[in-house]
Structure 1
Amino acid sequence: MRNSRKSFGVVKGASSGFMISLLIHAAAFLLAGMLVVFTVQHKEEKKFVPPKPVERPKMKLKKPKVKVKKTAKPKATTRIVTKVMRASMPDIQLPEMSGMGDGMGGGGGGFELDMDFGNLTALGSTRSIGNDLEGTYWDLKFTRGGVFSPMEGEEWREIFHKFFRTWNTSIFSKYYRSPQKLYTTFLVMPPTISALAPVAFGMSDDMASGGHWVVYYKGKIYHKEGITFRFWLGVDDSLAIRINKKVVVAGSFISPEDGESERAPKMYRSLWESESMDSEKYVIGSSLATVGDWVTLEPGVEYDMEVVISENASSGASFIVAVEEQGVEYPENSQGGPILPIFRTSELSRDQLDIIYKNLCEDEVCCTNGPIFRDF
C-alpha cells in the first residue's frame, strides 16, 4: 500500500523555508541599495548670482545763480610797518677753508672761502685769520719819537747781530715802532724795492723810505701727521728762524755773481753755520740759497716760531722761505736744484698768489703744493 505524504511550499521541489529565507535576503539587499543611492549623492556647488541692480531715481540739480555787483571793490588793507633793530654781529674771523686740505685739490679747486684780509701785501695783511704769524715793524732810521736819525750800514749790522744773540726785541726799543701789525700765512717777498716794507706797515709818506728796517714775526706752528723738514732761504739782506727757542736757519745776501773769495762777510758770523752741502749752491730770489738744519715736529704738537727779517740798503729787498720735506723727491729747475714748496700755514687765496707771482721767477718755488703747518 502506497504511503501518501502532503507537501507544503510554494515552489515545487524546494523547501518552503528556503524560499522564505531567499525572499528575506533579496528584500534586505534591495533596501540597502536604495539607502546607498539616496545617501551618496553629488551635491552641486552653489553659484553666487548677484542681485539685480536697483534703479535709483535721478534728481536734476540746478546751478545756483549768484549775482555779483560789478561796482563792488575789495576794501583796502591797512599795512602795519614796524622798524626792526638788527643786532650788530661781531666781526668773526674764520680760518681759511679753500681746497679743504690736500685731499680737495691742494689749492687747485675745491671749496674756497673769500677771506677778508684787509690791506693785503707781500708782508701780510691787517687782519688775522687765526693760524698766522704776527709781524711787528721797527725802523732803525728814526728814533722812538719819530725823529730822523741816519744810520750807517755797519751800525745796523751790529744792532742786528746783538739781537740775534738774545732774540730780545727790547734791543729795538729806542727806535720807531709802527703801531700797525701785519699777519701772514707765508714768508715770500720776491725781489722788489725795499720801501715796500714801511709802506705795508702803514708808515707815513715822510717816513716810508727803504733801508735799515726790521720785521719780527711770531706765532704757533703745527703739523697734523708729524713731519721732518728743513728750511731753504733766499734773502736780501738777512733772515733767521727760530723754533722753540732754537735757531734752525739763518741766511744773508750772497750774490750769485761774486766768487767765493769776494763774498761779503756773513751776517751771522759764527753764531750759526749750515751743515748742508747744498747750501750756497742754487739761486733762490736774488741770492744763493742757505739750507737750514733738519727739524722734526711731532703730530699735532704746538711749536713756537720766530722769524726776523732785516734790510740794510735802500734799493732792493727780498726774502723767500721754502721747505724741503725729508724723503720727498722734487722736480728740478734749470739750475739742477729742487723746486721746493714755500712755507705756509694755510692754503693761499688767489689774491695772495697774485702778489707772490708778480715778481717771482718761473720754476723757482712752488706755491700750491707741499706741507701746511697747521693743526687741522
Structure 2
Amino acid sequence: MSLHIEMTPEAEAELKRTVQRNRLSSISIAVLCCFLGGLTLYLTVKLFEEQEPAALTNYTPPLEDLPPTKQPVTKQLQSRPASASSSVAPSVVVAAAAGPVAMAEVDVPTDSMDFGTGMELGVGFGTGGLGDGIGSGGTGLGTEQAGGSTLEGVFYDLKQTTSGAPTGVGNQGALDIVRDFVRADWNKSVLSKYFQAPTKLYTSCFYMPLCQAEEAPHAYKVEDKVQATRWCAIYRGKVKAPKSGRFRFVGLGDDAIAVRFNNKLVLDYGWHSLLNGTWGNPGARAGLQKQLEDAKEEPLKLFSYPGNGAWNNDLGGLGAGLTFSVKEGQTYPIEVLITEIPGGVFGFVLLIEDLDNPSALKDSNGTPILQLFRTNFAEPSSEELYKNMKFPNGSTGRTNVPYDKDSLIWQSV
C-alpha cells in the first residue's frame, strides 16, 4: 500500500527555483575549479622553468625535450575514453535516489544532489509510516524466518518431559495443564518441564484452515518425536495500535484458541474452555458467555460463514470476545495460544472487529466480513495453504473463512 502525494503549484514552483539555484551553483563551482586548475598548471610550469640546472651537467635541455615523467600536470589533463563502468555509475546513483519516489510528474532534471536527498521525505510517506522490511509473510503456523513484523511461536508437547520421558498425561490432564497456564497469567514456568521444540516459528496472522493435527509437529520439525495429540503452541510479541478505538477479537480454535491482549484474557473459544478446563463446545461457549456477563458486555455473538460447515455445525461459527480499547501508536503485549488435545482435525482463525467502524462488507447471508488480525501485509489464502500442507484435510471437510483484504496492520515491534 502506498500513498501518492500530489504537489501544490507553489511547492512545484519552489522546487523548480531550488533546482535552478543549485544548477547555477554547480556551474559556478565548475568554472572556479577550471580557473584554479589553470592557475595551478601555470604555477607548476613556471616552477619548472625557474629550477636551477643540475649540478652534474652544464647542459640545460629545453622544456619541450624534457621526459614525459617530468610533466605530471600535463599527464593528468590528457583526455581518456570513459570506461563502461564509469559511464554507468552516475545513472545508478540517480536511480537509487529517485526510484522509490511516487509523486506528480515534474519536468525537473535529477542531476541536483540536493534534489535527490530531499526525496527521503517521499519515501517516508510512501511506506505509510510502517517502516522498512515490514514484509508480507508468516501465515499458517508460521515460518522459520524471523523479522518482518511477526510474532514468535514456541511448541510444547505435554506428553513428554524436557528429557523426552513420558508424562503419562491423558486428554483431560493435558487440558488441565493448559488451564493452569492460562490461570497463572500465562507464566512460562508452568510449561517449563515439558518438551519444547528446538525450532521456533514466526507468524504474522492466525489463519489455519481445517487440516490434520499432524501438520503442527511437522511445521515445528518434530514430527519424528511428537505425536499429534496433547500439544500447545504459544505466540508472543508486542504490537502497535494502528488507530484509536474499541476492538474485539473474533475467532475459534479447533481444538481451542485463547488470546491475551495487554495482560488480559480477551478471547477463549473452541471445543474447550481453556480458562475453566471444561471439555466440549458447550463448556467453551458457556465459559465465554460467563466472561462477557462478568464484564457487563452484550451476550455472546457468533459469526458463521458459508463453506465452513464443520465449524458452523459443531461450534456455531467464530466467537466474539471481550471489548478492549487502544490508542493509536501505543504498544501492547499480545499472546496467542492454540492447542490440540485428542488429535484428528485441527485449525484456527483469528479476526478482529472494529466496533467504532462496523464493516460494510457482507457475505451472501448478510453476515459482516471482518478484518484479519495481522502484523504485516499478509493475505493468507485457504487454497494456497492447502496446496502447501503435508497433512491437508479431506476436500469435504475443508474451511475457508472470508476476511477484509484491506485489514489494518498491527505492526509487531
Judged with a 3 Å threshold, the aligned counterparts in structure 2 of structure 1 residues 351 and 128 are, in CA distance, closer, same or farther, namely farther
Aligned length: 261
1:332 maps to: 362
Question: TM-score with structure 2 length normalisation?
Answer: 0.55
Give the Cα separation in 2 of the matches to 1:317 and 1:248: 22
Q: Which string of whole-angstrom CA distances, capped at 9 and with x for unpartnered residues, describes residues 281-332 of structure 1?
A: 5366723321112222211111111111111121011110011112223322
Work out the CA distance in 1 between the residues paired with 2:386 and 2:333. Answer: 25
Match of 2:211 among 170, 192, 208: 192
Amino acid at match of 1:307: V
RMSD: 3.7
Match of 1:318?
347
Instruction: Give 1:89-108 correspondences, 5 Å limit.
Output: none
Q: Does 1:373 align with 2:407?
A: no
Structure 1 residues 8-47: aligned runs within 5 Å: none
Q: What's 2:328 paired with?
A: 299
Q: For 2:291, what is the secondary structure of its paired residue?
A: coil
Q: CA deviation at 1:208?
A: 3.8
- AA at the equivalent of 1:347: F
Q: CA deviation at 1:352?
A: 9.4
Amino-acid identity (%): 25
Secondary structure at the aligned position of 1:157 is classed as: helix
Q: Which structure has the larger Rg over C-alpha atoms? A: 1
Contact kept, 8 Å, 1:223 with 1:373, in 2: the verdict is yes
Kindly indicate whether the alpha-carbon contact (under 8 Å) linking 1:238 and 1:252 is maintained by their aligned counterparts in 2: yes
1:162 paired with 2:180, answer: yes
**Which residue of 1 is the match for residue 372 of structure 2?**
342
What amino acid does structure 1 have at the position aligned with 2:371? P
Structure-2 separation of matches of 1:271 and 1:168: 25
Match for residue 126 of structure 1? 144
- Distance in structure 2 (CA, Å) of the matches to 1:113 and 1:353: 26
* CA displacement at 1:149 relative to structure 2: 4.0
Structure 2 CA distance, aligned partners of 1:250 and 1:199?
A: 25
Question: Shift of the alpha carbon at 1:351?
Answer: 8.5
In 2, the alpha carbon distance for the partners of 1:298 and 1:356 equals 37
Deviation of residue 145 (structure 1)? 0.9
Answer yes or no: is the 8 Å Cα contact 1:121–1:200 preserved in 2. Answer: no
- Report what 1:39 is aligned to: none
Consecutive unaligned residues of structure 2, counting only runs of 5 or more, are 1-99, 101-121, 273-279, 393-397
Distance 2:378 2:402 in 1: 14
CA distance in 1, matches of 2:387, 2:352: 18
Q: Is the 8 A contact 2:242 2:409 kept in 1?
A: no
> Separation in 1 of the partners of 2:383 and 2:127?
16
Residue aligning to 1:265:
283
Instruction: State how far apart, in whole Å, the 1-side matches of 2:217 and 2:330 are.
Output: 34
Which of 175, 180, 183 does residue 194 from structure 2 map onto?
175
- Describe the SS at the equivalent of 1:189: strand
Tell me, yes or no, if structure 1 residue 142 matches structure 2 residue 160: yes
CA contact (8 A) 1:122 1:356 kept: no
Correspondence 1:247 to 2:284? no
Q: CA deviation at 1:234?
A: 2.0
Tell whether 2:255 aligns with 1:237. Answer: yes
Contact 2:156 2:231 (8 Å CA) reproduced = yes
1:222-267 C-alpha deviation (Å, 9 max, x unpaired)? 124324211101221111111121111111228xxxxxxx954228
2:135–2:376 Cα contact (<8 Å) kept: no
| Shift of residue 180, structure 1, vs aligned partner | 0.9
The structure-2 alpha-carbon separation of the partners of 1:204 and 1:338, relative to structure 1 and needing over 3 Å to count, comes to same
- Decide whether the 8 Å contact of 2:268 with 2:284 is kept in 1: no
Q: Write out per-residue CA displacement over residues 87-131 of structure 1, whole angstroms, 9 at most, x where no aligned residue.
A: xxxxxxxxxx9xx9xx9899xxxxx989696xx661111011242
Question: Does the CA-based 8 Å contact 1:191-1:318 persist in structure 2?
Answer: yes
Residue 316 of structure 2 corresponds to residue 279 of structure 1: no
Q: What residue number does 2:220 align with?
A: 201
1:268 CA displacement: 8.6
Name the amino acid aligned to 1:344. Answer: R
Q: Does structure 2 conserve the Cα–Cα contact (< 8 Å) formed by 1:222 and 1:301?
A: yes
| C-alpha distance 115-297 of structure 1, shift in aligned 2 (>3 A) | closer
- The structure that is helix-richer by fraction is 2
Distance change (3 Å), C-alpha of 1:335 and 1:148: farther
Within 1, Cα distance between the matches of 2:412 and 2:202?
Answer: 18
Q: CA deviation at 1:155?
A: 0.7
Q: TM-score, normalised by structure 1?
A: 0.60
Aligned-partner residue type, residue 168 of structure 1: N
Which whole-Å CA distance do the structure 2 matches of 1:270 and 1:338 have between them?
21
CA distance, structure 2, for counterparts of residue 273 and residue 232 of structure 1 = 14
Question: Which residue is 2:62 aligned to?
Answer: none
Supply the distance in 1 between the matched residues of 2:323 and 2:403 (Cα, whole angstroms): 20
Q: Where does the alignment leave 5 or more consecutive residues of structure 1 unmatched?
A: 1-96, 107-111, 255-261
Distance 2:334 2:302 in 1: 24
Matched, 1:223 2:241: yes
**Is the alpha carbon distance of 1:373 and 1:179 closer, same or farther for their aligned partners in structure 2, counting shifts above 3 Å?**
same
Task: Confirm or deny: 8 A CA contact 1:230 1:324 kept in the other structure.
Answer: yes
Instruction: Quote the Cα distance in structure 1 between the aligned partners of 2:202 and 2:412.
Output: 18
How many Å separate the matches in 1 of 2:303 and 2:219?
32
Quote how far apart the aligned CAs of 1:272 are.
Answer: 5.9
